[in-house]
Amino acid sequence: MAIVAAFDEPTLLARLAAAANEAGRSPADIAGSAVRHFVDTASDDLWTLLIGLMNRAQDPGLAALRAILDKSLPGTGKT
């Protein structure tokens, strides 16, 4: 969860905490499930978008996780 905290995006962290609370699971479990679901189901267009985000980011892994969580968590996402 230190990686998620590195986002320094309180809204995204609040969405993650709310999803975890509602599901009765840990935030780390929710984040892992979101990534697994993306890997299993993302379209070619979403993969292309993700690769583009990663290419422009200083920290590609952090950018990928942020984008996946932002897209998959309930609430208002930016991506």
**What domain range includes position 31?**
2-72
78 within domain boundaries: no
Q: Are 69 and 3 in contact (CB under 8 A)?
A: no
Question: How far is residue 63's CA from residue 37's CA, in Å, rounded to a whole number?
Answer: 17
* Whether this model's pTM surpasses 0.85: no
Q: Are 4 and 65 in contact (CB under 8 A)?
A: yes
35 within domain boundaries: yes
Q: What's the first-to-final CA gap in the chain, in angstroms?
A: 21
pLDDT at site 6: 78
54: its two tokens? 């990663």
77 within domain boundaries: no
45 within domain boundaries: yes
pLDDT by residue for the chain (79 residues), tens only, comes to 677 777 778 899 999 999 999 999 999 999 999 999 999 999 999 999 999 999 999 999 999 999 999 999 988 655 4
**Domain count across the chain:** 1
7 within domain boundaries: yes
